[in-house]
Structure 1
Amino acid sequence: MDYVDTPSSPHTYAKKSIHMDIPFSYFLPTLILLLFFTFIFIYILSRKTSSPNLPPSPPWLPVIGNLHQVLGKDIHRTLSNLSHKYGPVMLLHLGTQPFLVISSTEMATQVLKTHDQQTCTRPYSRGSKRLSFNYMDVAFSPYGDHWREMRKVLVSEFLGAKRSRMFKNVMEIEMEGLIRSLSLQPANTIVKLDEKLLHLVNDVVCKVALGKSYRDEVFNGKTTKEIVDETLVMLGGSFSDIFPRFGWILDGLSGWNRRLEKCFSDFDGFLQMVLDEHLDQNARKASDHENDLVDDCISRLTTDEMKGLLTNVFNGAIDTSAITMAWAMSEIIKNPRILQKLQNEIRMCVGGKPRVDESDITKMTYLKMVVKETLRLHPPAPFLMTRECVSQCQIGGYDVLPGTKVMINSWAIGRDPRIWEESPTEFYPERFEKIQVDFGGKHFEMVPFGGGRRACPGYNSAISTVEFTIANLLYFFDWETLEKKEDLDMEEEGHQLIRRKTPLCVVPIKHNW
């Protein structure tokens, strides 16, 4: 029986109640919204889990990054102050390049020890590439087989036992000359001690490495020191190091390219002159001297490798030691208590002999504390040489991406109040009676010589040179200043190396035995 679909038929409503469905178009908007928010949630969740956990960073501007916060200032102090706010692992953008700034012992340990392999190469730089003769050296070359081979040569031929004996002999001769020249000066003569210390170290290093001082040599109208100082300036970097895409334009417009080429031409010409003199066999046979570094390496290295090695000798072994000596003598003379205590130890250990022997210095425990305190408070280089991260790792719980440059603030680490609790900015050598510090890479409470694979291999030689020099100066002379000792000017200057801003003008007084 068929039902008639009319309003009057009661079966009409029965049929509708059984077969009526909610239209699909009613569900469609709800379904779309549900899917949309689901996708958004999944996207946000995936972004959150996949985005790197970068270190904290000060606010930075487009293109220039944080340059406006560091240019024209004492960068080591500025970054130390910023680390107090943003932490010991801090990310800076200098130009378009990311830099990780490390300012604590714990974080330095992670970089130099835990993740040394991931951060042990050097970043590319036009200046360092040119002045290292296309990375033929040790200090600036990327981590790899060539670096290993060149480091072996440097350690065995310049820092090994054979050369150490030569260092000792030359150092004793040059020290006797310095003591004699100071002794023969009229009473109350003022000397610029930091200048004399620089001449001393230069003469010792050059005679061991090159056979003679070259201090008074003039090449292209410049002294050797002026040529070497200019290389240090050019190694400081250029616009292209922080703006890789367009910095080369700024380097050209600013005249940096011309200055680099002039610097390279002078430096290369000087080094070639040195090599030519060593290759002149007739001249070498006529001179009666012990083989130097160039003599022993010139036949086994290429010309560029030999020049790259000498670049490291000039830039790494002379100024740093002389600066450390000048700071040490400044702090000693400024503090009469330390001066008297140290002189008493030195003169007791030497015992009135006419010269200071190496064996005497091994007994001078307070002298070793003074040298450590000098390197803690006045590391000659405020930052270790910049490293570059080659593979992603975590420092302090933060992700460090490949290509990030790593700067370790040695100056800030040596003044960290959490480690150096007793007046960290005060010169107080006695603190090392409680704190043991090893420069060989076991401890990172202070890192003047770096650590890990790229640590300075010459730290033993440098410390021995500083200790021997200070022991002699304080054994033979008493020291006076023009003003009150406590008022001695200790202002710093420099970026790559931190020197005294004013000469160390003092009066040596021959000790009356």
Structure 2
Amino acid sequence: MEIFTIFPSWLLTTTLVFFMFCMFLYTLRSNKSSITTPKLPPNPPKLPIIGNLHKLIGKSRHEALWQLSKEYGPVMLFYIGSKPYLIISSPAMAKQVLKTQDHIFCSRPLSKGAKRLTYNYLDIGFSPQSDHRREMRKILVSEFLGPKRARLFNHVLVSEIETMVRLIGSHPPNVAVNLNKLFLATVKGVVCKVAFGNNYRQQPIKGPSWEVLVYEALEMLGGWLGDSFPWAGRFIDYVSGWNDKLETCFTNLDAYIESIIDDHKSQIAEVTDEEKDFVHALLELSSEDNTSGHRLTKEDVKALIMDVLTAGVDTTLVTLVWVMSEIARSVRVKQKLQTEIRNHTGRTPKVDVLDIAKMTYLKMVVKETLRLHAPAPLLIPHECMSHCQIGGYDVLPGTSALINAWGIGRDPSTWGENAAEFYPERFEKFEVDFEMVPFGGGRRSCPAKNMAPATVEFVIANLLYWFDWEVPDGVKSEDLNMQEEGILVLRKKVPLRLVPTKYNWDD
């Protein structure tokens, strides 16, 4: 008690309060310091205004970023203008973004092209995370990819492949077939007939062809420089002519979608339940009699149709081209695969869908193709919604994460020294988690990740069952041109031309 007699109680109280106040200020300062100086991922030296944009000039984005990741690590910060991008280049880091922190990275960055072409972010693929997007995804899965359409899809797929086989069989002997055009007609026929019915408009009433229309839309959805330069973006969009190009693309695409809706409205009263397609289902969900609890607007319907047009055809098409290209390059793989397909099918008039389940090597061939040729090499960007950590580094809200699916699928530390080689047998003992991510993962994974490979397997099985395939004269199999092009979707630069020979079972 002596201390209280030496110092008055009011002085002790004042001293204690002052001490606590100082401790509060020190703690606040420490916390503020930790917030203002986060531990950011390593990044290449950047230039004023353009950031790291110069690192991409004259190079493929996915390859340039893969080479940089070897120097700066699997978690790298990259700036285009003032916009920060988190570059993910390893399975472990991809798992953190797509699974562990999926609830934080499940949104999408804003993009002028995506906003316009998705009717102000009403679609599934490019819209930020929201209750509306979740409802739209449920509708797409239920009405287009689910059991309701499975029977129709299989029927149409078999019919289109029979048409394809007849066309190849009637082709002049020893003349190369353009498989790009053949695959486009087949995949387009399947997707559009299931979505829009047998009488779908194969070409727009006016404007560019269907193929050009979809290609231009994908180019616009891939983003533009103006998105990464908030102050100069409008000027860049105007001077480059990108604004006009976007508006023309939207006008043409909207007119085509509008014609599809008008066709269905005029016939909806005459269509039986068995004849109803995806668009009929969407129109019913937009009617006043809809009892589902979620009534679609006209723009909702258009946005879902846009998703089918841009995502339903092109990714399957490019995968088919890459699969046949890799098969044509490897005589060993081609012979082994044809033996499996013909042994399981036998001398029957057609390849049965049930036979595909037994063709394990076919599945390995398709999987190996997706490893080397992910349709979207950098996936669609994911947007960080709140502060988090990836690989021990701080990631701030507003950062866009780019998953380098192309690089992850070719990483020697995962796939061995022959990572760049087409070797399907590697999947005999390899269980895949995030070592390859062609369809993304988490809440934003591709809704068709099961249907798309099955479609590819069925088409390839038919091609190799009915025909033997060779590269045109003067070209060695191993020298087949495999150059890539594209940003959002990675295509084979030179169309694939192969010479078919009808297989003779009597030989």
Q: TM-score normalized by structure 1? A: 0.88
Query: Equivalents in 1 of 2:459, 2:105: separation in Å?
Result: 36
Opposite residue 260 of structure 2, the aligned amino acid is V
Query: Equivalents in 2 of 1:464, 1:274: separation in Å?
Result: 28
Tell me, yes or no, if the aligned pair for 1:240 and 1:246 is still in contact at 8 Å: yes
1:6 equivalent in structure 2: none
Query: Equivalents in 2 of 1:84, 1:236: separation in Å?
Result: 25
Query: Equivalents in 1 of 2:464, 2:457: separation in Å?
Result: 11
1:286 positional shift: 7.8
2:497 equivalent in structure 1: 505
Q: Structure 1 residues 433, 45: CA separation in 2 closer, same or farther (over 3 Å shift)? A: same
Within the candidate set 205, 212, 221, 1:219 is matched to 205
Q: Equivalent residue of 2:219, what SS?
A: helix
1:205 aligns with 2:227: no
Opposite residue 224 of structure 1, the aligned amino acid is W
Which range moves more in the overlay, 413-422 or 164-173?
413-422
Query: Equivalents in 1 of 2:393, 2:95: separation in Å?
Result: 15
Opposite residue 504 of structure 2, the aligned amino acid is N
Q: Structure 1 residues 45, 273: CA separation in 2 closer, same or farther (over 3 Å shift)? A: closer
Could you list the runs of 5+ residues in structure 2 that have no partner in the other structure?
1-24, 286-295
1:461 equivalent in structure 2: 451
Can you list the C-alpha shifts for 1:81-120, whole angstroms capped at 9, x where unaligned? 0000000000001111000000000000000011000111
1:325 aligns with 2:311: no
Q: Equivalent residue of 1:90, what SS?
A: strand
Opposite residue 189 of structure 2, the aligned amino acid is D
Within the candidate set 138, 152, 162, 2:138 is matched to 152
1:156 positional shift: 0.3
1:187 equivalent in structure 2: 173
Query: Equivalents in 2 of 1:390, 1:181: separation in Å?
Result: 51
Could you list the runs of 5+ residues in structure 1 that have no partner in the other structure?
1-38, 438-442
1:33 equivalent in structure 2: none
Opposite residue 342 of structure 1, the aligned amino acid is L
1:220 positional shift: 2.3
Can you list the C-alpha shifts for 1:347-381, whole angstroms capped at 9, x where unaligned? 00001111011110000000000000000001111
User: 5 Å matches for 1:70-109?
Assistant: 70-109=56-95
Opposite residue 46 of structure 2, the aligned amino acid is W
1:302 positional shift: 1.4
1:218 positional shift: 3.6
Tell me, yes or no, if the aligned pair for 1:202 and 1:215 is still in contact at 8 Å: no
1:311 aligns with 2:306: yes
Matched-pair identity in %: 53
1:487 equivalent in structure 2: 479
Give the aligned length. Answer: 468
User: 5 Å matches for 1:101-120?
Assistant: 101-120=87-106
Query: Equivalents in 2 of 1:389, 1:129: separation in Å?
Result: 19
Within the candidate set 371, 380, 393, 2:375 is matched to 380
Opposite residue 103 of structure 2, the aligned amino acid is Q
1:70 positional shift: 0.9
Tell me, yes or no, if the aligned pair for 1:203 and 1:215 is still in contact at 8 Å: no
Opposite residue 438 of structure 2, the aligned amino acid is P
1:405 positional shift: 0.6
Opposite residue 459 of structure 2, the aligned amino acid is T
1:34 equivalent in structure 2: none
Q: TM-score normalized by structure 2? A: 0.89
1:397 equivalent in structure 2: 392
1:365 aligns with 2:360: yes
1:23 equivalent in structure 2: none
Query: Equivalents in 1 of 2:31, 2:129: separation in Å?
Result: 38
Within the candidate set 245, 253, 260, 2:246 is matched to 260
Q: Equivalent residue of 1:298, what SS?
A: helix
Tell me, yes or no, if the aligned pair for 1:320 and 1:497 is still in contact at 8 Å: yes
Which range moves more in the overlay, 253-262 or 322-331?
253-262
Tell me, yes or no, if the aligned pair for 2:379 and 2:488 is still in contact at 8 Å: no
2:11 equivalent in structure 1: none
Opposite residue 263 of structure 1, the aligned amino acid is C
Q: Structure 1 residues 451, 427: CA separation in 2 closer, same or farther (over 3 Å shift)? A: same
Tell me, yes or no, if the aligned pair for 1:219 and 1:266 is still in contact at 8 Å: no
Can you list the C-alpha shifts for 1:438-490, whole angstroms capped at 9, x where unaligned? xxxxx111000000000001111101100000000000000111122122111
Q: Equivalent residue of 1:430, what SS?
A: helix
Query: Equivalents in 2 of 1:167, 1:448: separation in Å?
Result: 23
